[in-house]
Chains A and B, each alone.
Chain A
Amino acid sequence: MAKILIVDDAEFLRLRISKMLIGGGHEVIEADNGAKGVSIYKSAKPDVVLMDITMPEMDGLAALKEIRAADPNARVVMLTALGQESVVIEAVKNGAKDFVVKPFQPERVLAAIDKALA
């Protein structure tokens, strides 16, 4: 069982992923923007972060940088509708472990989490 932080402004998506992860025996915590995600990461120290990109207050790429600056071993998986090569390259350069493009199959998210935990 892993502790997983979902950072996404869409309540609908957080609920959908939470149900899936809790069903798989994981513990889930949530944040609805990048700034809250960084703050919760520092206090809760999750094993894996699932990070959206387009969010109000602080976007996911900025939050990825802040989390990795605070913890260079942080395992962050980007989960976004933006799959442009330039965005993927920037995320990977900044330490993202994987990149899942929406809409996604549940198995793809679970595989990305397993890969990040390995």
Chain B
Amino acid sequence: MNVKFLNPFVEAAHEVLQAETGLALTRGDLILEKEAFRTDDVTVILGIIGQVEGNVFYSMTERTAIGLAERMMNEPFESFIELAQSGIAELGNVITGRASVKLSHNGYESTISAPTMLLGKGATISTLDFLRLVLPLNSECGSLGIHLALREGIQSHLKMAREETRFLAKHSAA
């Protein structure tokens, strides 16, 4: 897991949550996880492919999810109904999309999948040989955990190899 991929997600989360919910966030302690992820009540999962590849999870309690959805829709939800689920999935989608734009500014082009939502506490998700960087972001509504299991994609290595070949060709010609 490359730490340089973290900041775009943190910045995107701050910007999107501020715009969608008006909430200010404070960062919790960063953790590097090798073990499989045990889910909380609500998990939004997105895949990333391109010069960055892997998965991103957004994890929270149902209470936090309802609180965020209420602020996004400006209406109360008695339970985590489909409309609220759609809002939380969209939140994950927009944070990840915005982070992928920031990654592209740093030279890493990527594209993202549509979000998937996993409901239920205690499921195990393994990211196999991808280490997971976990950053809790705390707000009035509770904690939102951002889990990044990302690495440079093969396209990034191919780009570096092409640049190296061009460099060698130029210098051997000289």
Contacts and interface: CB of A to CB of B under 8 A. Distances in A.
Contact of A16 (B73, B96, B98, B111): B73
Interface stretch (B59-67, B79-87, B145-153, B154-162): B79-87
A10 B90 contact: yes
A73 interface: no
B136 interface: no
Nearest to A83: B101
A13 B112 contact: no
Q: In the complex, which of the residues B15, B94, B113 has the most CB atoms of chain A within 10 Å of its own CB atom?
A: B94
A-B pairs, top 8 by smallest CB distance, nearest first, are A81-B97, A12-B86, A12-B87, A103-B19, A11-B86, A10-B90, A81-B94, A84-B104
A57 to B, nearest CB: 10
Contacts of A98: none
A83 B97 contact: yes
Interface residues of B, number: 27
Contact of B100 (A16, A56, A82, A103): A82
Q: What does DSSP make chain A's interface, helix, strand, loop or mixed? A: loop
A86 B108 CA distance: 12
Interface of A: 9-13, 15-16, 54-56, 80-86, 101-103
Interface in B39-78: 69, 72-73
Interface of B: 15-16, 19-20, 69, 72-73, 82-84, 86-87, 89-90, 93-94, 96-98, 100-101, 104, 109, 111-114
Contacts of B94: 81, 102-103
Given A12-B87, A54-B113, A55-B114, 5 more contacts: A10-B87, A13-B90, A54-B97, A82-B112, A84-B100
